[in-house]
Structure 1
């Protein structure tokens, strides 16, 4: 399937979404990989993981880049050669990349029961009070995505999702909130989130208030 959707978050940030319907062979034949990426692909045991990896390279092409423009630092954080910021996430049948002029972190999570069961390990469960079971599941997934997104920006060993990252109270209809990270020092982040089929998409910004500017569906 071609690019499913692009979302313009603001003047300097764009999201690219791919729905993975292709086989490994179809994806592999359609991208060019540098040697280090090929070795990494060959080391993946799961075809789902391989397809996510390759579909991210398809998204890079949609954004005007290639695998040769992408590199990872010693902590595993992705970077683009031209200095723009990039965050990558893939989950089961979807892949997402976010490209911005400012530091961002993005996460894509499928809504599943296990996330709610694990909620006491990573969040203040009082934030789930007075919600239906369905909304509890969705909100717990959003909160997990929020904490993953903030962690992707900071990328520091030792950060605790439950003890160091604190989201403000929010409603699912808000599609935004703020977060405070208390780890060595205190930092605040702006969060936006949305839903793509049965997935939650979250993006964290280290600065500048944002919101959805436009949504361009491409079938």
Structure 2
């Protein structure tokens, strides 16, 4: 069972990462899906997406939950029936879940050069400290994207824009953490974020500010 990594950012929060090495059929073993989710998996055209979806259910089991414990609201945000907060991510051969007593968000992305082409679409302030000739430019861009995606999932508010409403304070890859802000409708929200790299991927998660 390829549980890849478990982290505990604080006593009320746990992160679990799954490396998807099993086949589609193997991932079906040992889990039960709600009828609507079973149909959803069967209708997926990509086996990679199917495996990602099923791996998330195995991660839920690692937390002691089943597919029936998870539901989504009208904004597409996942919730757990016991009231704990959850965020879910999936990218290629990795999936991840964060569960906490607080509102949290998580994202995993594969590090790819093409993110540089769309950088202007998701950041503005960050160009003040991020230079395209830095050797770790793509890595930092991926961190910023993951942090902003985590904020988006945490905030779960229609109309929130990566470009207009979020910003990430300067950081180095070695620091593995930074502060990020959401500035939305004349209110500012401060978050503590952590990130790490593994096998060509980046994971970041957003937590309430310390």
Task: Report whether the alignment pairs 1:17 with 2:12.
Answer: no
In the alignment of these two chains, the number of paired residues is: 207
Once the two structures are superposed, what CA deviation does each residue of 1:112-169 show, in whole Å capped at 9, x if it has no partner?
Answer: 0111221111113233227534x00000000001110000011112111111101111
What TM-score results when the alignment is normalised by the length of structure 1? 0.90
**Distance (whole Å) between structure 2 residues aligned to residue 15 and residue 147 of structure 1:** 18
Structure 2 partner of 1:43: 43
Q: Are 2:54 and 1:76 aligned? A: no
Q: 2:30, 2:19 → 1: CA distance?
A: 15
C-alpha contact 2:60 2:66 (8 A) present in aligned 1? yes
The corresponding residue for 1:202 is: 204
SS in 2 for 1:190: strand
Once the two structures are superposed, the pairs formed by residues 60-75 of structure 1 within 5 Å of their partners are 60-75=60-75
Between the aligned partners of 2:92 and 2:179, the Cα distance in structure 1 is: 28
RMSD: 1.3
Structure 2 segments unaligned to the other structure (5+ residues): none
SS of 2:27's equivalent?
helix
Answer yes or no: is the 8 Å Cα contact 2:5–2:18 preserved in 1: yes
Which digits, 9 at most, give the CA deviation of each residue in 1:53-95, with x for residues without a partner? 0000001111111111111111111111111111100100001
Partner of 2:109: 109
Structure 1's unaligned 5+ residue stretches are 210-219
Aligned partner of 1:126 in structure 2 is 128
- 2:171 equivalent in structure 1: 170
Cα distance in 1 for residues equivalent to 2:158 and 2:67 = 27
In the alignment, which residue of structure 2 is the partner of 1:33?
Answer: 33
SS in 2 for 1:178: strand
Aligned residue for 2:175, secondary structure, equals coil
Point out 4+ residue stretches in structure 1 off by more than 3 angstroms: none
